[in-house]
Amino acid sequence: MSGIVQIVGQTGGVSKLLSVDSAGRAVVRDADNIAQATAINTALGTIDGVLDNSLIQQTAVNTALTTIDGVLDNSLTQQTAVNTNLATLETSNQAIKTAVEGTLSVSAPALTTSSVVLESATSVASATTETTASTDLGGVRNISVFGDLDDSSGNILVEVSADNSTFYENSEQTIYIDSSTSYCKSMPIDARYVRFKYQNDSGVAKVWNCVISSKS
């Protein structure tokens, strides 16, 4: 038996169409219900897609978190190694400090003063030149030269040498004698050897005293 029977619902007076299938079962032909079911199925499909996409994103987040965790583990391992090395270095430094402490003493070197008499009441005849012996300054760079020469118009030349054989005049350090006849001059000398020279052009004999002094 098959066919379409019109029935009236119990509420609202809504007409429902029924059909009978080949098995003799009544099938509701309700267009509104079908549309709603279709909409529901569509919504469920959308929700399923969203859930699938969310699952993919969650998987990506988990992968990223795993990578970050690996990086943090590696960083922690490196930091541990650095801390170990620092501890070893600190131990070594402490050992060195212990070994040196109390045994290291520092003292200022003693200051040595050297003075050499180059001319002692030397009589220099007129029209003659008197040259002192050379002085090996070694590591000394500053000297003082002092004495007296009774020639108020005379001067004393300063000569320097690298080999104590060939000497050159250092005109910047020439010593000029004044009316007091005494002199004292401090000067820097970068050459190894130095000597002094007096030429008497006064017409009479002159007496010369000369001392060189240095500190090292």
Segments making up each domain of the chain, as ranges? 1-101, 113-215
Question: What is residue 33's predicted lDDT score, i.e. its pLDDT?
Answer: 59
DSSP code of 141? -
Among 196, 215, 213, 216, which residue's Cα sits nearest to residue 145? 213
Neighbours of 140 (CB within 10 A): 16
Question: What is residue 5's predicted lDDT score, i.e. its pLDDT?
Answer: 47
CA atoms of 79 and 74, how far apart (whole Å): 9
Question: What is residue 43's predicted lDDT score, i.e. its pLDDT?
Answer: 74
Residue with tokens 């066919």: 3
Q: Is the dihedral of CA 149, 155, 161, 165 positive or negative?
A: negative
Read off the pTM. 0.52
pLDDT means per 10 residues, the chain with 216 residues, are 47 53 61 64 76 82 84 83 87 78 67 93 98 95 97 97 98 96 96 97 97 94
Question: What is residue 210's predicted lDDT score, i.e. its pLDDT?
Answer: 98
The CATH number of 113-215 is 2.60.120.260
Contacts 24+ apart (CB under 8 A), 14-23: none
Asked if 124 contacts 113 with a C-beta cutoff of 8 angstroms, the reply is: no
Question: What is residue 17's predicted lDDT score, i.e. its pLDDT?
Answer: 53
CA atoms of 100 and 75, how far apart (whole Å): 37
CA atoms of 124 and 132, how far apart (whole Å): 12
Residues comprising the chain, all counted: 216
Asked if 214 contacts 140 with a C-beta cutoff of 8 angstroms, the reply is: yes
Question: What is residue 6's predicted lDDT score, i.e. its pLDDT?
Answer: 44
